[in-house]
Amino acid sequence: MEFKELERILHGPESFALFGHINPDGDAIGAMLALGRALKARGKSVAWFSLDGVPGFFEHMLLPGETFLDKHSAAPYDAHNPDAAVLLDCATPRRAGDEFAPIIKRAPVSVNIDHHVTNETFAAHNLILPAASSTCEILYEFMTACAWDITPDIAAALYLGVMYDTGRFIHGNTTPAVFRICSGLAARGADPAFIANGVYNNRSLASVRLLGYALNHMQTTADNRVAWAVIPRSVLLDLGATDIDTEGIVEALGRYSGCEAHMLFTEGPDGKSRASSRSTGRIKVNQVCQVFGGGGHDFAAGARNFMPLNELAEKFVAEVVSRLPARTET
């Protein structure tokens, strides 16, 4: 779908429901805020749906009066009958959360805007650009191409998504376009220091203790090329942590020289075991995750299933090791 086609589709409906994904990251929250604010400025009514709410380290991005419907919301979801449902940063409709599926199904118009290469183009209208660093990058290009006004609040939300999905401009998706876009966003009023400090230096104490546990219990293969940590649910709860506190831990496990792939294994409240994996560039961890029912990007992917936690960890590590390329002589 071309940008102009998306603009035409967004022009018709009066009421919008915007969805990010479960365990929302900065790109999901940023994309919802940016598109929602832009639609409101165009006279539309907008409701934001985030099953797991808005993590505390994104709350500084919210304007007074901006609220999200989540799993704790009192109002029943079946009261919502939007003219259009827009899913952002969701490779599959289930990523929005099964609880929201009826709302999405009821909406006469469905739109899917995403940058995951595994996107299933499930909506009536799909704008999928896997070369984009983030869904927020796609929204920036869309708004710019269609001459939509990017206010400082919209710029801030878009900046959050691009910053977050590039890992603060260190992942392989940090292209010249990313710097061009972020320069444009800063010029339009996004405050990089305010946004970054709120996200990265404003964590819960429990999340820092949980990171300590993971680092202390990190395991590696004999050649140290693969690292991982397993956090049983009981440990997470004993530390007073919540699921969102696992955020950022898998990245920390891969910070040493010579690491090629790193994983974090946790257990969700639904009893499912979860694998979160990262690669420094030679192993495509999304292919490993697909073996276990998951997916994602080449070098950042995840999976969740009902295997016992330690069994998932053991089999996942074996699968990664089997894909290690021959070591290059240095």
Which residues bind to Mn ion, rule: CB under 5 A? 27, 89, 134-135, 165
**Measured between alpha carbons, how far is residue 253 from residues 220, 227, 234, 257, 275 in Å?**
10, 7, 21, 11, 13
Q: In terms of CB distance, is 27 or 260 closer to Mn ion? A: 27
State the minimum distance, in angstroms, from the CB of residue 52 to Mn ion.
Answer: 15
- Helix/strand/coil (H/E/C) assignment for every residue in 140-207: HHHHHHCCCCCCHHHHHHHHHHHHHHCCCCCCCCCCHHHHHHHHHHHHCCCCHHHHHHHHHCCCCHHH
How far is Cα 154 from Cα 232, in angstroms, rounded to an integer?
39
Q: How many CB atoms lie within 10 A of CB 255?
A: 10
How far is Cα 284 from Cα 258, in angstroms, rounded to an integer?
16
Q: In terms of CB distance, is 140 or 228 closer to Mn ion? A: 140
Contact call for residues 291 and 319 (beta carbons, < 8 A) = yes
Is 66 in a helix, a strand, or coil? Answer: coil
Q: In terms of CB distance, is 20 or 82 closer to Mn ion? A: 20
How far is Cα 199 from Cα 294, in angstroms, rounded to an integer?
26
Q: In terms of CB distance, is 114 or 153 closer to Mn ion? A: 114
State the minimum distance, in angstroms, from the CB of residue 6 to Mn ion.
Answer: 18
State the minimum distance, in angstroms, from the CB of residue 134 to Mn ion.
Answer: 5
Q: In terms of CB distance, is 26 or 82 closer to Mn ion? A: 26
State the minimum distance, in angstroms, from the CB of residue 26 to Mn ion.
Answer: 8
Q: In terms of CB distance, is 135 or 273 closer to Mn ion? A: 135
State the minimum distance, in angstroms, from the CB of residue 21 to Mn ion.
Answer: 9
Instruction: Go through the chain and tell me how many residues it has.
Output: 330
For residue 3, what are the contacts with CB-CB under 8 A and spacing of at least 6?
Answer: 127, 141, 142, 145, 146
State the minimum distance, in angstroms, from the CB of residue 75 to Mn ion.
Answer: 28
Alpha helices in 42-151 (DSSP H): 101-106, 135-145
Q: How many CB atoms lie within 10 A of CB 210?
A: 25
Closest residue to Mn ion in the complex (CB): 27
State the minimum distance, in angstroms, from the CB of residue 181 to Mn ion.
Answer: 14
Contact call for residues 130 and 115 (beta carbons, < 8 A) = yes
Q: In terms of CB distance, is 139 or 317 closer to Mn ion? A: 139
